Structure 1
């Protein structure tokens, strides 16, 4: 008896690679999506038991809640990350979606660092535009992750390493990489950015996510290597986490510099 095809899945993944349109690559894309969905949903199954455990250890409710979120995020993303890499590297054709020659590894890495600078500039401009149209700056999602990382430092690995790699595999390779075969760069970028914002539950900052997705998609198309947007994404998340975790120290440093400037100003008045 012939196997029935799912028309929705077949349509979405029919062009998941230009050099291969085999069933293995289609299945790999689907598996990566399923793994990513499992990462998002699986912690829900263990929230109550994990929270009760930390409460039983004498933690305050707020601290226990942060510890629960931190460890579940770390474990879910870490396990999902490992499984996804095994699935992806078993399919040697998974990343063969571009025509033409890929950029060399060295140049791809350099473009990753350059892409990080582009992300900083792009997000800064997007934030200014959002502020001009009345959207409050700052991300609630980022703020929550920083609070969690202060209680569970291991969660930093999930935010800086596991998360960026998984998101690039899903949003750049599977969604953007599949759609660009049948649409154009802008449509593929818009759809991947919209889904990216939906996953983070922050439609208010859609412009920020679109700008980020636009730059990462450009890096992927430019180098034809997923390594480049992964590097840029890791550096961005690492930079944001580093700044946020040390915000108190940064503010104290700024206050001291302002005090020094005031002292210098007063000194110049009396001793000029």
Structure 2
């Protein structure tokens, strides 16, 4: 089966791509996989909390469960463990589901492939690092302008800033590596490929970027003025993906962005007060 990508992908990604079996990501499957990823995190976290509740039950009786669970989860170290556990469970399962569903798309450089191939030009990896460093600065200025003096916080930043050093290291490693790999697969791989089958490049990038921003809104504590920053980041990541014929530059830029965002966790360790 041959699939024509005419007018759905940029000029550098317009050849006819033969796919064995013809299975490609559709809009519903892309949405379902994204929802599954976040649902898996919630389920893993919920099961962890349930285990804590059962342990409290055997120690002090059912009447002490709510108080014990609340006190335990209020501890910064426990919150970090919850993030590590939930992401550690959801990420590999999501990658496995995507690979089992579309095994032939992983090694295809151009959409509808997911681009797990070397970029066309190695220099694009350097550009990706630059994007990952510049976008947080520009996006941060934009967010502060829109916030008009309101504090801008993220759940993960609050958890990281109060977490002991021993747990900050694995938390940062997860946030700058595993998280970007899965999210780039979901949004710049599966979703963008699905959108490019129906929409022109500009609309596909815009829709995928807006979706990326909206699904992160709960982690931003529903601070709407932080959305333009995420949209700007997602747009740059989508451009890198299509420009390089590879998903690795967007993963690298995403990880660099996250690394820059969490450097403050370590700076906060020795700050007075």
Alignment TM class, shorter chain as reference: 0.5 to 0.7
> Which position in structure 1 is the counterpart of 2:230?
209
Contact 2:20/2:104, CA 8 A, preserved across alignment: no
Cα RMSD after superposing both structures: 3.8
- Per-residue CA deviations over 1:71-102 (Å, capped at 9, x if unaligned) read 222122222222333344454322435389x8
Q: 1:26, 1:174 → 2: CA distance?
A: 6
Q: 1:206, 1:70 → 2: CA distance?
A: 24
Structure 1 residue 31 displacement after superposition? 7.0
Provide the secondary structure at the position in 2 that maps to 1:246: helix
Does residue 1:93 correspond to 2:93, yes or no? no
Alpha carbons of structure 1 residues 239 and 129: separation in structure 2 relative to 1, 3 Å: closer
> Which position in structure 2 is the counterpart of 1:265?
none
1:228 to 249, 257, 260: 249
> Which position in structure 2 is the counterpart of 1:73?
83
Contact 1:25/1:93, CA 8 A, preserved across alignment: no
> Which position in structure 2 is the counterpart of 1:82?
92
Which segment drifts farther, 109-118 or 214-223? 109-118
Contact 1:108/1:223, CA 8 A, preserved across alignment: yes
> Which position in structure 2 is the counterpart of 1:164?
180
Does residue 1:181 correspond to 2:177, yes or no? no
Alpha carbons of structure 1 residues 103 and 32: separation in structure 2 relative to 1, 3 Å: closer
Superposition pairs of residues 122-271 of structure 1, within 5 angstroms: 122-133=135-146, 134=148, 136=150, 138-147=152-161, 149-150=163-164, 152-153=167-168, 154-200=170-216, 201=218, 202=220, 203-247=224-268
Q: 2:20, 2:163 → 1: CA distance?
A: 42
Contact 2:161/2:269, CA 8 A, preserved across alignment: no
- What TM-score do you get using the length of structure 2 for normalisation? 0.68
Q: 2:125, 2:151 → 1: CA distance?
A: 26
Q: 2:207, 2:84 → 1: CA distance?
A: 28
Q: List gaps (5 residues or longer) in structure 2.
A: 1-15, 60-67
Contact 1:159/1:237, CA 8 A, preserved across alignment: yes
Provide the secondary structure at the position in 2 that maps to 1:139: coil
Q: List gaps (5 residues or longer) in structure 1.
A: 1-16, 253-272
Alpha carbons of structure 1 residues 103 and 222: separation in structure 2 relative to 1, 3 Å: farther
Which segment drifts farther, 215-224 or 132-141? 132-141
Alpha carbons of structure 1 residues 177 and 144: separation in structure 2 relative to 1, 3 Å: farther
Alpha carbons of structure 1 residues 18 and 107: separation in structure 2 relative to 1, 3 Å: closer
Structure 1 residue 211 displacement after superposition? 0.7
Q: 2:81, 2:116 → 1: CA distance?
A: 38
- What TM-score do you get using the length of structure 1 for normalisation? 0.68
Which segment drifts farther, 176-185 or 18-27? 18-27
